[in-house]
Amino acid sequence: MFQLHYNKPAAIEIADMKVDLPSLMAASWQDLQQNGPVVEFIVSCRITFIVKQFFELLRHNLPHELMKTAVAELCEQIEVLVVEWDVVCFCSLLND
């Protein structure tokens, strides 16, 4: 947001980012509850990269229809992430 507000370039320019996130092997929801911080870290990292892609789109000043399509794809990635990690169920388990 700082970049957009002050019209400043990115401090770090990386063409293709690849990150090796920690793996999580869980046999049950009980295991996931114990590894809550790891799950939270993995999901939040993936959302951070999706948000970064969104801000990159804003910098390119795409036509409205292309922007709409690109943003829909990013939203789809977030929806897949929520389903893949069963975030809603996981959050309810942690709150119990």
Tens of pLDDT, residues 48-89: 999 999 999 999 989 999 999 999 999 999 999 988 887 777
pLDDT in tens, 13-40: 666 766 665 555 555 556 656 666 777 7
pLDDT of residue 37: 72
Which pTM was predicted? 0.64
Q: In angstroms, rounded to a whole number, what is the distance separating the alpha carbons of residues 16 and 28?
A: 34
Measured over the CA atoms of residue 7, residue 11, residue 16 and residue 20, the dihedral's sign is negative
* pLDDT for res 33: 61
* Six token digits for residue 16: 């293709």
For residues 79 and 47, the answer to whether their CB atoms sit within 8 Å is no
CA distance 57 to 13: 15
